[in-house]
Structure 1
Amino acid sequence: MSERKVLNKYYPPDFDPNNIPRSKVARNKTFSVRLMAPCNMKCNTCGEYIAKAKKFNARKEDVDDENYLGLRIYRFYIKCPMCMAEIVFKTDPENTDYIIEAGATRNFQAQILAERQAKREAEQAEEEEKSNPMKMLENRTKQSRHEMDMIEKLEELKDLNQRQAHVDYDSMLQRYSRQQEAEEQRQEQEDEEYIRSVFGKGKDSAVKRVRDDSDSDEEVRAKVPPPTEKPTDLLAPAKKPEVPSEKKSWERSLGTLGGAKKPALLVRPAGRSVATNGAGAGGSGSTAPVTAVVTKDTAQNGTAAGSGAAVTGLGLLGAYSDSESD
């Protein structure tokens, strides 16, 4: 099976290339090639900017009358993508660059020309130094002076390195730490003296520090229950503190009539205790029995005031009114 691309051809052993006639081709024939723009350029016809590395279909030809050290120089023809004007440039093997011949202007051409001019001036200066002996002597003097300065700087660096080589870094760190501790102690003493001077405390006086029980003001403290005297007090409700009650208006006595006997009540309400001030039923007939109605309020007030306090008339009148309401 034959090759699809036919890269190689068969030449028989008795092949003679002289028998093949030469093809009639022009000596400087142009070829169609695909290339990219070598640099940023601007079209002189329409002003269109052509970026570097933009692809074009170009025509290539050899420059017959130019070469550089035996190297061929090629010329390329491309067309502007906007106005289809022809742009021509060629290779520059001397500067490893390209030269635009017609149809466009290269961007940053001024910078390139300035660099080349500076290079030419440097070459001319070197040639002048070689031809002028006095100029050469001056340059040698400057160069020797520069070398001496560099040698002095190197010696200084060597001395500095030798001094640093004998330095003990551990001792330096320890010394620095001791200085820091001494400085901290001095600052603490100054702070304490300032506090004493502000608060007027003496050297012997001790400062009492109050410890905060809690950081929050809203914290509710637990109530301490009162001590119990009997085991049964745990089951009983908590007693409220007794507050002495004030006497009512009708219980406040302004005094009694001197030597007058209190009449006995005609009606004795049910459930009331009656106290007699006589000898009882067996007493003398001349002395009338005096009875007193003891109510709940009067009994409490009587016990608070004392067992020997007498019941006033206003108290009896209040007791009588209470019996009617019942």
Structure 2
Amino acid sequence: MSSLAAARADNFYYPPEWDPSQGGLNKFHGQHALRERARKIDQGILVIRFEMPFNIWCEGCESMIAKGVRFNAEKKQVGNYYSTKIWNFTMKSACCRHEIVIQTDPKNCEYVIIKGARRKVEEYDAVDAEILELPTDEERGKLVDPFYRLEHQEEDIKKKNEAEPVLVRLQRASDARHSDDYAINKALRARLRSQKKRVAEEEHASRKRGLGIRLLPGSAEDAAAASRVKFSSKFEENRKLKRALISTSSIFSVPSGSSSNVDKRLDLEAKRRKIKAARVSNLLAGGFKPSGWNRA
């Protein structure tokens, strides 16, 4: 069954009712070898895949169609330039279904837009683009003159002599750089190993500091920027004062109803707080830091 399906897919299957006198399979089935592409073959039109030769502007929606975009185009012959055929391509724009017609120009080895679009004009400087500028039609016509051609050749020779030392030096440097593939490969692999080792060390150091990202090594600019940062000293003073107030405050809450025993207890607690506050102030003045001071 699979071999039969493969034979039908490759168009090699001949049904039992076929007779060699009837011709090929396409004639027997009443169809063209190109199937749907040749639906207008009686009008001399063949559907092909056409690739846009340059950037154009669609006149239907004013959107740009880039060079290399492909279309299903109807191809037909519209004339001859001597023995070369002139082909016409008709296609629909994908953005607005506007009809675009492009034709070959064998005389100038170019494509010409007949209707539906206009060519995008792109100007550039050959020196900035670092490309060779081809001679114009006027210059090519002047080359017929032997004297002009001699002057042109002298300018080319002068440019060649000026550029030759630089080109030779670049060629030698390129040959020296790629002369030993094994040495180049060895140097690159050694550099990669050292880089991986350095990255692993930086990641390990960052993890020891409790960071989830890798810190880059410090530089002189980082040290200079850090030295210019100054923190306010009021923060330490406020922290010490809050700690001293917490140490001297009472842990008992004041009851709603007061009695003689409660008053005596409060007076005793107030005296103790005063004594303790005086001791703390003396210790702070002397520069002593009790245990747990930094945990405030």
Range into which the TM-score falls when normalised by the shorter chain: 0.3 to 0.5
Superposition TM-score, scaled by structure 1 size: 0.31
Q: TM-score, normalised by structure 2?
A: 0.34
Is the radius of gyration larger for structure 1 or structure 2?
Answer: 1
Higher helix share: 2
